[in-house]
Amino acid sequence: MSQAAHPLVNGLAPAALGSQLRDARTQNKISLRELARRVGVSASFLSQVELGRAKPSIGTLYSIVSELGLSLDSLMNEEDRQPSPSEHTVERTRLRGRIPGLQRAEDRPEISMSGVRWERLTEQDDPLVEFLRVTYTAGSESCRPDSMMRHPGWEYLHILSGRLDVQVGFNGETMEPGDSLNFDSNTPHRLSNPYDEDCVALWVVVGRQGFAHPMDLAGRNTVQDSSTVTELAVQGHFSSSAPASAPDAHG
């Protein structure tokens, strides 16, 4: 599906995103065919993504960045992909000075895809943690019910507005404003907003790029239930060969 006029990152065409993915793949010395096999898409579709001619699903994008050792933060990290500071921001900086690490609301980079918008809340890419403001628009979802996502890390979320259906393993709940949750991202999970109102949440992902697991750092065992993962794989809820979900109808 052609997306040449559909911006993904800070108003930039998909070709820029595809270029980043292609550069990371070649740096990791992974062939196009091999990456496509790991992610669960065709080599021709992955080639179209790298050329900016097709847009992956949310689950497929997570699979790709996981295999390449990237994060959503890192996709927004290039200086030439950062939005230019607004005149208002420049004036406030001139008058009041700038606190290191401060990022104004109008300047934060974002990625929008399939009805979901990720806004990075750190001024620069932080390799240890992803700190995000995530919006699931009405009717959006992270993946199909039969293609649950899983990837390295530990997730923390807090609902600011709206409602969000969350499934982690075999357990599902509807989260409402003020609710919070944390879970092992290696556990198959799915997020969806079947309601009429957008859902906005604060999101933190620790260890996304394969660093020590937070529970390991704390000297505790992780709560990853390997039997749950195995049973879900047997039932076909996710691909055990890929760290995230299998693609939807558009890849």
Q: Tell me what pLDDT residue 14 has.
A: 67
pLDDT per position as a tens digit, 22-40:
999 999 999 999 999 998 8
Q: Do residues 14 and 8 make contact, with C-beta atoms less than 8 angstroms apart? A: yes
What is the pLDDT at residue 200?
98
Cβ count near 144 (within 10 Å): 17
Exposed e or buried b per residue across 189-210, where buried means at least 16 C-beta atoms within 10 angstroms of its C-beta = bbbbbeeeebbbbebbbbbbbe
Supply the pLDDT for residue 225: 52
- The answer, as to whether pTM is greater than 0.75, is no
C-alpha span between 134 and 12 (Å, rounded): 19
| pLDDT per position as a tens digit, 137-172 | 999 999 889 888 888 889 999 999 999 999 999 999
Judged against a pLDDT cut of 70, whether residue 136 lies above it is answered with yes
Q: What is the pLDDT of residues 66-79, one digit of tens each?
A: 888 887 777 776 44
Q: What is the pLDDT of residue 153?
A: 86
What is the CATH architecture of 14-80+105-234?
A: Sandwich (2.60)
Decide: residue 95, CB within 10 A, 0-12 exposed, 13-18 middle, 19+ buried: exposed
Q: Highest mean pLDDT: which of 40-44, 49-53, 150-154, 188-192? A: 188-192
